[in-house]
Structure 1
Amino acid sequence: MEERWSTEHVLSLAPDASSQKAAGKLSSPASWSGTGTDGTALWGACKGSGSTPYRTVIELATPAYQCSCPSRKFPCKHALGLLLLWSGTPEAVPTAEPADWADDWLKARAERAEKSAEKSAEKRATAEPVDPEAARRRAARRGARVAAGAAELRLRLADRVRHGLADQSTAGPWEEVAARMVDAQAPGLATRVRELDALPQERLLEEYALLHLLATAATRTDELPPALAATVRSRVGYTLDAAEVLSGPTVRDRWLVLGSRDSSDERLTTRRVWLRGAKTGRPALLLAFGRPGQAPDLALPTGHLLEAELAYHPGAHPLRAALGTRYGAPEPGPAAAPDGLTVAEAVAGYGTAVADDPWLESRPTVLAEVVPVRTPDGWYLTDGHHTVPVRAGAVPEAALWRLAAVSIGRPLTVFGEYGHQGFAPVTAWAADQRPVGLTNL
């Protein structure tokens, strides 16, 4: 039997809440005609405001979408509506051969992908070899800029502490310092500096200390152990593209999708997808990006298993990974919830990770047998022996009430990120073992 996506997974693809709402109105059979699926794609015609229905086709593996509507959102409400129809009313999207217009798009897409792969292979084969000496000189120039910027940042931090954290009469906003870090090619330092203006005063000294430590380490990467040096470079803002990461060692496993979360600003939408290796037990974080109004391309259903190769970015506490070769589409995962930790074990695990990476804000954690509790001081998760606070603002209040409704006072398994500010829930496994998403509501 063909595995249909959950409604929750479909809605996670939407670029915004209004698209989710509009798609819900288009999820009934009455809105569609000529629907069908061949197991790899969906297609159908949706009634619109004009006389001609909008033709919508979806390739499921990527996924990829095509619609004749004029919407600039991606995927549009028609693509989402068709996915919801397929998910919730399977008999309304029968198995069939693709319509001619859908088949034309699917074939053209496959041809473009094949030509792109051939071009990439040809480009790699004919590319001029990298001049090691030129690359070394470029790296040295950037290293000198970063070191100079880090040294200036240390002086600025020391000056603020010397005048006292409560004395803001001579201290201007940090934006000027952040701009200097950008000029020094240290965007990671710039991001952390910009956040200082928004921090409450009781947290300033803590962040000053961590930032001073990072700036100091940035001037001494040659003296650090390789793994820690890689962590420092990553925190400072050095980046590696996926191809470079995948050129190194890879880990093949059947990866359980633990959950995902989207965040947006005026520049882009970021999707974070957490995985756990079924054989290795290793956690992994995949990042995908999309323009405003466009959902990122990476879409993996929570609770499914994907057999694939991952390559980890270097670091003292490797977590972020690049997705390499996939061996088939995601398949339904185990019926049982994933193995989890007690609250005490989670706290100890985070402490160990911070010893490797002092700037680690949180780490992916599965808590087993916990119950959500709401108190006058906020929400907590307890296993009956120890309690951990839910991080303020980590998820909407509605998501926490949903978590309480799933629990109905009984212990359940919850996946999220645990750190010094508390636990940020992402997915819960109810009594019937179905994963329930707690983000993007």
Structure 2
Amino acid sequence: MSTKITSADDLLHLAGDAKTLEAGRRLFYSKRWRLVGGDGQWLWGEFPFGNSDKASETAVELTTGRYFCNCRGRQRPCAHGLAIVLMLKNDQERITVGQPPSWVRSVQHRATKPPAPVKDDLAATDRRSDRIDLMTSGVQELELRLLDVARRGIADTLAQGPDPFLSAAARLTDAKLPGPAGVFRRLAALGPDGNETDIARALGDLYLFVRAWKNRDELPKDRYGELAQFAGLKPKKEEILSRPGRNDHWLVLGVVEGAEDRLRFRRVWLRGEKSKRFALVLDYAFGEMPYERSWPLGASFQGAVHYYPGSYPQRAVFPAPTPGGRPYDGLVGYEEIKHLKDNYQKALALNPWLYAYPVYLANVTPVVGGRETLLVTPNGETLLLDPNYEGKYRLLALSGGGSIAVFGEFNGYHFNPLSLIGGGGILAA
């Protein structure tokens, strides 16, 4: 379960999916490539856009496996980058050894440029103060909305359909409160399958947020940091990178992608070999823009992860991952559901805004009963799958009626499978 950059094959293994790799193979055969070159550390090339003078400018840092391209492909590595790597593997005569052109030197400079220093001037302080005032007004409106639901009753709110939830989400978004807004959007998405219990839990969590925000000045620093992150007040990346990093061998254990309007997001779960800790890398991309980096499921990377502040930190920044270079060892999962739930409760006591808890189950059997799908342990304990999970029949087929090892996210009520782990590697669930 590792990736080591010792050959072109290792670079090709970083392809995000088979479709992009196949597109790279088609581009490999094209005669339109120009200025294909390398210097032993970097590989580069240009591929024209149609009949214009402009071109896709593609570069690959060979020692780290980092791909750079100005094309609009969503994947990194994109087809252009994979195509020039295929030249390195199969047709090195097309590559001219020499000094990189100016645009490659610009890419190299950006790749090695240190983080900008954190600015803490008066203007920045004023902007932050203005935003907190706006958020506070949004919290006050949220409290009135929650009290109105309590007076009218959840059943009456459900009868109005998703519109009240969507309206609340829009108002909270305007108040720079994306975390609470997301809760209302999830409630709106429940549709006719939603029930009063689901809504009551979510509204209770939101009321807890309201009370915590009103008393935020009394919270310990880490607790305040987690509250602010859920509300939408994220620390700057430079501030996170200034915190001590945790160096380890990290395995890509699960990947989730989604979108809200034109904003796409990706959650990547990493697991440290020595620390046995999980880290959540959250990426965003707008429209057709690609993500900055590819995280192939089952690949491993070495480097320092910097966690966001908090009493139970999960989200992290991984600024300079390098391929793992050796097999990943020490992956141990839960054998009993009771231990999972006990640890989840401890984590929730430290961070009540923990809405996704990473879980690796070592030995469970999927069972479909009516409208519900369960994971059953050898001692008969059960864990209910997320009702929105669409891969239950794939899960049954891969298990063959026997036990499997599965990784996913637990929200306190349901489990959402993300990947299956076996002797053949890690597969998307």
TM-score (norm 1): 0.76
2:146 to 145, 157, 171: 157
Structure 1 segments unaligned to the other structure (5+ residues): 13-19
Is 1:426 the counterpart of 2:418 in the alignment?
yes
Q: Is the 8 A contact 2:43 2:59 kept in 1?
A: yes
Partner of 2:222: 227
Q: Cα distance 1:299–1:140, how it changes in 2: closer, same or farther (>3 A)? A: same
Q: Deviations over 1:135-188 (max 9, x none)?
A: 555444433332332122112211121122222589972444444434433232
Structure 1 CA distance for aligned equivalents of residues 73 and 202 of structure 2: 38
Q: Deviations over 1:212-242 (max 9, x none)?
A: 1111211111112222221111111111222
Structure 1 CA distance for aligned equivalents of residues 346 and 185 of structure 2: 28
The two structures, once aligned, show a CA RMSD in angstroms of 4.1
Q: Is the 8 A contact 2:23 2:79 kept in 1?
A: no
Structure 1 CA distance for aligned equivalents of residues 110 and 25 of structure 2: 35
Q: Cα distance 1:165–1:371, how it changes in 2: closer, same or farther (>3 A)? A: closer
How many positions carry a matched residue from both structures?
409
Structure 2 CA distance for aligned equivalents of residues 92 and 325 of structure 1: 24
Is 1:299 the counterpart of 2:290 in the alignment?
no
Instruction: Describe how 1:32-181 pairs up with structure 2 within 5 A.
Output: 58-59=60-61, 61=64, 63-66=66-69, 72-75=72-75, 78-79=79-80, 82=83, 93-94=89-90, 96=92, 99-100=95-96, 104=100, 108-114=103-109, 124=117, 130-131=120-121, 136-168=125-157, 173-181=164-172
Q: Which amino acid aligns with 1:130?
A: D
Is 1:412 the counterpart of 2:404 in the alignment?
yes
**Higher mean displacement: 95-104 or 155-164:** 95-104
Q: Is the 8 A contact 2:172 2:178 kept in 1?
A: yes
| Secondary structure of the corresponding residue to residue 211 of structure 1 | helix
Is 1:372 the counterpart of 2:366 in the alignment?
yes
Is 1:313 the counterpart of 2:320 in the alignment?
no
Q: Cα distance 1:7–1:421, how it changes in 2: closer, same or farther (>3 A)? A: farther
Aligned-pair identity (%): 27
1:349 to 326, 330, 343: 343
| Secondary structure of the corresponding residue to residue 244 of structure 1 | helix
Structure 1 CA distance for aligned equivalents of residues 133 and 28 of structure 2: 65
Q: Which amino acid aligns with 1:344?
A: K
Q: Cα distance 1:25–1:100, how it changes in 2: closer, same or farther (>3 A)? A: closer
Is 1:266 the counterpart of 2:261 in the alignment?
yes
| Secondary structure of the corresponding residue to residue 155 of structure 1 | helix
**Higher mean displacement: 170-179 or 286-295:** 170-179
Instruction: Describe how 1:217-296 pairs up with structure 2 within 5 A.
Output: 217-296=212-291
Q: CA deviation at 1:21?
A: 4.7
Structure 2 segments unaligned to the other structure (5+ residues): 1-5
| Secondary structure of the corresponding residue to residue 249 of structure 2 | strand
Q: Cα distance 1:222–1:164, how it changes in 2: closer, same or farther (>3 A)? A: same
| Secondary structure of the corresponding residue to residue 373 of structure 2 | strand
Partner of 2:353: 359
| Secondary structure of the corresponding residue to residue 166 of structure 1 | helix
Structure 1 CA distance for aligned equivalents of residues 206 and 415 of structure 2: 23
1:187 to 152, 174, 178: 178
Structure 1 CA distance for aligned equivalents of residues 316 and 186 of structure 2: 26
Q: CA deviation at 1:319?
A: 0.1
TM-score (norm 2): 0.78
Structure 2 CA distance for aligned equivalents of residues 55 and 192 of structure 1: 41
Q: CA deviation at 1:369?
A: 1.8
Structure 1 CA distance for aligned equivalents of residues 372 and 38 of structure 2: 47
Structure 2 CA distance for aligned equivalents of residues 406 and 113 of structure 1: 44
Structure 2 CA distance for aligned equivalents of residues 55 and 231 of structure 1: 40
| Secondary structure of the corresponding residue to residue 381 of structure 1 | strand
Q: Cα distance 1:3–1:301, how it changes in 2: closer, same or farther (>3 A)? A: farther
| Secondary structure of the corresponding residue to residue 341 of structure 1 | coil
Q: CA deviation at 1:379?
A: 3.0
